[in-house]
Structure 1
């Protein structure tokens, strides 16, 4: 975390909060600080410094998407800007604060709402030029980060083997399969991407459009699917999410029957991505992967152990 960046983000959010009438805001607080973004809140306003090297034209297209009136019931819209659009060489955006999912109350997690929001997003007619959804690219970046953090470590071989068994489109090396790549996708769906707005009791909305764009809608279901397949998400919770998505007419899977033929490859890719990030994070923190992180590596080992003919079937 760069102290100067955090300070300036806090100042930016504080000025915007005052301009919107929030005259008694508490001191700015850091909400997130990762390679893909630093987020600071001051009262009703959140300032985000996007990742270094962000394509600003693509970001502008994604911000226009979030600001579109047709997405008001699906995506949190950014706040208008009068301040500089860059701090310390990183693009900066302003957002209204929304109430996040409470990690301490898993029984109240909005799985049905997440499924319904995704179905609505995927059904939306695309009316503006958009870049490709960045999900597969992010998976590739996670694997590259693991390679750098754990060079030559035999413990990560199952992750790499599972990665190399995926088709090119799931590794960000080729377009999505014909007929699957023209849907509007979020690109990085998990429960941390939902907030209530207006806080604290408004409707649930999707946030963080940094990876949004055109692609295979199955990717947005892939992380919950991967957790379910690895045994981290109970079957009844997975079905709540899947049934809500189907009830909303989501196009990623058939309306009934087995959803796995559509979800298998994206779920495998998200399994690899999660395991790769776990290995990279544990290396940075000087520790061994914890139990949950090892579960995803074990899942990669199961993927890597598929007979060649079955692996070909699942990656075609």
Structure 2
């Protein structure tokens, strides 16, 4: 089973209007692969994102507060140039009722009962090893800590005084200053084309039985170790089984992924990204639990416990 990770990092947005839903359905029915008679199915409707399947296409209304301008166009162009790795778009983005809308081929989502860890690791390695297409020259450097700091700031703004919040803030304070947004990040020792928000939910199966990556809103050039941060964090927290982590990491290494050494200890490269993502996910857990007016569940508590270990380790090392 896949570990349940809260769907995070932006505040809730108003529900989509019926007009927007109808507009997405009409776009899908008119798109190549769509069908005038296809019954629409809502695949996702949370956090200001609406995704509707119509026949063999998927129509997505993006979050209103995301970078949906020229950089999204560039990222979609990169997907079109790497169709063996990324699901290519069906045409350019468009504006509908004040929202940016994109169209994509439908891909079969990952089954939570049989997670394709080997396929995910191998595909991610091939993305990192690929030569970035010329179109990506205009993409900014990708820095994961920007998102982590924002989530922690949202949690802090809730004025929570619980033990979970305190441990998360202690752990965050133990991270390097540049991760916390204090000063410029050091130049990475290696750079690659990175997905920017990698997890197994970003894989879809296509007709030939292979897999592609979706959701290119964070695609950029940066340190590939950050793409391994989420599974590394969940493994460190004890919520991703060691066998699954080994399957993923082994496949990544076997495919020549550059984020970690080909053998030996990977944690010199993964330590800071994994600690950062553990803190980010824990902060998201607290935000979600507070919004739902409930205590932390077992998964969420495991992430907060990891923050305690991170804080203790940081204090004992003097960082």
TM-score norm. by structure 2 comes to 0.87
> For the residues of structure 1 that align with 2:310 and 2:75, how far apart are their CA atoms?
34
Contact 1:13–1:94, Cα closer than 8 Å, also in 2: no
Give the structure 1 partner of residue 96 of structure 2: 87
SS at match of 2:61: strand
Moved more, 143-152 or 214-223: 143-152
Aligned 1:46-125 pairs, distance under 5 A: 46-55=58-67, 56-68=69-81, 71-81=82-92, 85-103=94-112, 105=113, 108-125=114-131
Match of 1:11 among 15, 23, 27: 23
Unaligned runs of 5+ in 1: none
| Equivalent residue, structure 1, for 2:285 | 278
Relative to structure 1, the CA distance from residue 96 to residue 216 in structure 2 (aligned partners, 3 Å threshold; closer, same or farther) is same
User: Counterpart in 2 of 1:145?
Assistant: 154
- RMSD, aligned α-carbons: 2.2
- Aligned equivalent of 1:265: 272
Partner secondary structure for residue 184 of structure 1: strand
Q: Does 1:39 align with 2:45?
A: no
TM superposition shift of 1:92: 1.7
CA distance in 1, matches of 2:281, 2:148: 8
- How big is the shift at 1:14? 3.7
Cα gap change, 1:30/1:5 in structure 2, threshold over 3 Å: closer, same or farther?
farther
Q: Is the 8 A contact 1:218 1:266 kept in 2?
A: yes
Contact 1:187 1:213 in 2 (8 A): yes
| 1:276 alignment partner, SS class | helix
Larger deviation, residues 249-258 vs 127-136:
127-136
Kindly state the Cα deviation for residue 124 of structure 1 after the two structures are TM-superposed.
Answer: 1.5
Per-residue deviation, residues 189-212 of structure 1 (Å, max 9, x unmatched): 1111110123xx631111111111
CA contact (8 A) 1:53 1:90 kept: no
TM-score, structure 1 normalization = 0.87
Query: Unpaired runs of 5+ in structure 2?
Result: 1-12
Contact 1:10 1:29 in 2 (8 A): no
Structure 1: 4+ residue segments shifted above 6 A: none
Distance 2:318 2:124 in 1: 29
Could you list the per-position Cα deviations for residues 87-108 of structure 1 after superposition, in whole angstroms to 9, with x for gaps in the alignment?
Answer: 34332211111110112x1xx2
Q: Which residue does the alignment assign to 2:205?
A: 196
How many residue pairs end up in the alignment?
A: 302
Rate the CA distance shift 1:4–1:233 in 2: closer, same or farther, 3 A: closer
Distance, in Å, in 2 between the alignment partners of 1:142 and 1:111 is 27
